[in-house]
C-alpha cells in the first residue's frame, strides 16, 4: 500500500479546510443514512444541520481573524466575539424553530446531525492541534 493511501483524511486535508470538509462529510453521511433508512425529511434535516454548524463555527472565527494577534484590539475583539455569539444563538433558535414548524425536515434527525457535526468539527480541531503540538 502506498504511503498516500495509508494517510488518514486529516493528513490529506490540512489547515483551515480540514474541519469544514469533515463536517460536510459527516452531514452527507447522515443525509445518505436518512435516505437509506427511509425517514422522510431526514436528508434535508441532515444537510441543514451541517450548514448550520459550518456557519456557526465560521462566524465565530471572524472576530479572531479581525484581531489577528494585535493585543490593542483584544478588548473590542472580545466584545465582538460575545456579540456574535449571542447573535449566533438567536439565529440558531430561529432556524431550528422554523425548520421544526415547517414539517419539511425530521427534527430528530436534524438534532442528531447537529450534535454529530459539532462533535466532528471540534474533534477535527483537537486532532489538528494535537498533531501540530501547538498549545491552545
**Tens digits of per-residue pLDDT, 26-68?**
999 999 999 999 999 999 999 999 999 999 998 887 777 777 7
**Tens digits of per-residue pLDDT, 26-35?**
999 999 999 9
Q: What mean pLDDT do residues 120-132 have?
A: 85
Other C-beta atoms closer than 10 Å to the C-beta of 125 total 15
Annotated domain spans of the chain: 19-126
Angle between helices 18-37 and 42-67 (to 10 degrees): 170
CA proximity to 51, closest of 23, 32, 83, 18? 23
Q: What mean pLDDT do residues 106-129 have?
A: 92
CA proximity to 95, closest of 65, 69, 59, 135? 59
As a whole number, the mean pLDDT across the chain is 84
Amino acid at each position: 500500500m502506498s504511503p498516500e493511501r495509508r494517510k488518514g483524511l486529516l493528513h490529506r486535508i490540512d489547515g483551515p479546510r480540514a474541519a469544514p470538509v469533515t463536517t460536510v462529510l459527516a452531514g452527507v453521511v447522515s443525509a445518505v443514512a436518512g435516505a437509506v433508512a427511509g425517514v422522510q425529511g431526514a436528508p434535508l434535516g441532515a444537510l441543514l444541520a451541517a450548514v448550520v454548524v459550518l456557519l456557526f463555527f465560521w462566524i465565530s472565527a471572524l472576530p479572531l481573524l479581525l484581531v489577528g494577534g494585535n493585543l490593542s484590539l483584544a478588548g473590542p475583539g472580545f466584545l465582538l466575539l460575545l456579540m456574535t455569539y449571542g447573535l449566533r444563538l438567536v439565529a440558531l433558535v430561529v432556524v431550528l424553530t422554523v425548520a421544526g414548524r415547517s414539517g419539511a425536515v425530521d427534527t430528530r434527525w436534524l438534532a442528531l446531525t447537529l450534535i454529530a457535526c459539532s462533535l466532528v468539527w471540534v474533534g477535527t480541531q483537537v486532532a489538528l492541534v494535537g498533531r501540530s503540538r501547538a498549545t491552545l
